[in-house]
Amino acid sequence: MSFAIDRRQMIAALAASGAGALASPAMGAPYRMIPQRASARVVVDNDFAGDPDSLIALAHQLLTPKTRTTLITVSPTAPKLTPPEMQGRSSTMGAQIARELIRRAGVAANPPVIAGAEAVSADLAPTEAARAIVAEALREDPLPLFVTCGGPLTNVAAALKMAPQIARRMTVVWIGGGAYPAGGWEYNLNTDIAAAREVIERHKVPLWQIPQGAYRQMQASNADLAARLRPVSDFGAWLYDRFTTPPEWIDIGGTWPLGDSPTVLLTALTAESSVARDLPARRILPDGRYGAVVPGRKLRVFDTLDARLTFEDFHALMRLHAAGDL
């Protein structure tokens, strides 16, 4: 049987199933969306009072049909990046920003937003955010659980210290750490090194790490944000406006790093077009460098990420959302 016959048969089958009626919406004919259903649930953890790339990732996660966001927890922002009015309450303020995003998005999903600790501490004291992560991990649900962390591992570490058994019930996707093999200073890691040590060195929770060299690939030009995000809708304009008031000491170049967006790529889209290695975990030294191997512990470390797929999906979802098709 020739390929041409196979192709004709395929076209005939599609037409018989009604796919042939997928005319342009401009012609007034009905059309169908490609069927999708959630294949995982996600806890989104981030320092939402910090860099606005966390808000792009949260909006993307809420809009995608492939995951179900069941909880949002907020970690503290490093004091040097916290404006005076947020000092000592960056988690509380970050929770307010996340709730405002959900309200403006107008999505059906309305997950709880819970603030964590207002400062990092070596003892990883339990917080409401950590308790909520534990409760979600222990809750019976057929969907697997990802905990995505775009900031310091503060809340995740406190949850694991409270209830080590949850390590078997979730996968952590973390934006943080220096490039392998040397490591070095990196914001999310160095903001709470004690938390990183707790998660990496003391537990065997599956961990997908996106270190600095990989997440820096996720660059969006300022012109692209202005041309595609700002005009798409009132929600897009609100998101864009979060980028327009950076701290005065920051000299903005031609791009803005959207380094938290890999959390959505890997949980809702695919990991197949990115490149990762399973590496032995290493101890974290005080300066953020990697030390000796942690016996019996492996991490999945991503080296390259599919930025094109990530951002095209985000902007397409924003257009669909603006059109009322989500």
Q: What is the CATH number of the domain that holds 99?
A: 3.90.245.10
Dist CA 83 CA 76 (whole Å): 13
What average pLDDT score do residues 175-204 get?
Answer: 97
Residue pair 122/107 in contact (Cβ under 8 Å)? The answer is no
User: Helix (H, G, I), strand (E, B), or coil: what is residue 225?
Assistant: helix
Q: Above 60 in pLDDT, residue 120?
A: yes
Beta partners for 174?
A: 149, 209
Domain assignment present for residue 223? The answer is yes
Sheet holding 145-149, edge to edge: 113-115, 67-74, 40-46, 145-149, 171-175, 207-210, 290-304, 275-284
Q: What is the pLDDT of residues 80-116, one digit of tens each?
A: 766 777 778 999 999 999 999 999 999 988 999 999 9
pLDDT value at 274 more than 50: yes
- The pLDDT of residue 303 is 98
Examine residue 62 and state whether it is found in any structural domain, yes or no: yes
What's the whole-number mean pLDDT along residues 268-292? 98
Domain-located, residue 56: yes
Q: How many residues does the chain have?
A: 326
Q: Which amino acid is at 177?
A: G
Residue 123 lies in a domain: yes
Residues in CB range of 237: below 8 A, 6 or more apart = 230, 231
Residue 105 lies in a domain: yes
Q: By C-alpha distance, which of 72, 75, 49, 54 is closest to 132?
A: 72
**Is 197 in a helix, a strand, or coil?**
helix
pLDDT tens digits, 214-237: 999 999 999 999 999 999 999 999
Q: Taking a C-beta distance cutoff of 8 angstroms, is the pair 205, 299 a contact?
A: no
Residue pointed to by tokens 């905990």:
147
Rounded to an integer, the average pLDDT of 155-166 is: 98
Q: Is the pLDDT of residue 213 over 80?
A: yes
* The pTM of the whole model exceeds 0.75: yes
Give the SS3 label for residue 174: strand
CA–CA distances in Å: residue 98 to residues 34, 47, 48, 114, 264: 29, 10, 7, 10, 16
74 pLDDT more than 80 = yes
In a domain, 28, yes or no: no
Question: Does residue 69 surpass a pLDDT of 70?
Answer: yes
Question: What are the backbone angles phi and psi of residue 176, rounded to the nearest 5°?
Answer: 170, 165
Q: Which of 302, 313, 307, 42 is nearest to 175 (CA)?
A: 302
Sequence-ordered alpha helix ranges (H) in the chain: 3-16, 53-63, 90-105, 128-138, 154-162, 187-191, 193-201, 212-215, 222-224, 234-241, 262-264, 307-322
Task: Say how many domains are in the chain.
Answer: 1
Q: Is residue 8 part of a domain?
A: no
Count of Cβ atoms closer than 10 Å to residue 157 Cβ: 24
302 lies in some domain: yes
Distance CA 234, CA 322 (A): 9
The domain of 63 spans: 40-322
Write down the pLDDT at residue 6.
Answer: 52
Angstrom distance (rounded) from CA 191 to CA 78 = 6
Backbone angles phi, psi at 194, to 5 degrees: -60, -40
More confident of the two residues 31 and 237: 237
Core vs surface per residue 8-20: b (16+ CB within 10 A) or e? eeeeeeeeeeeee
Q: Which has more confidence, 10 or 215?
A: 215
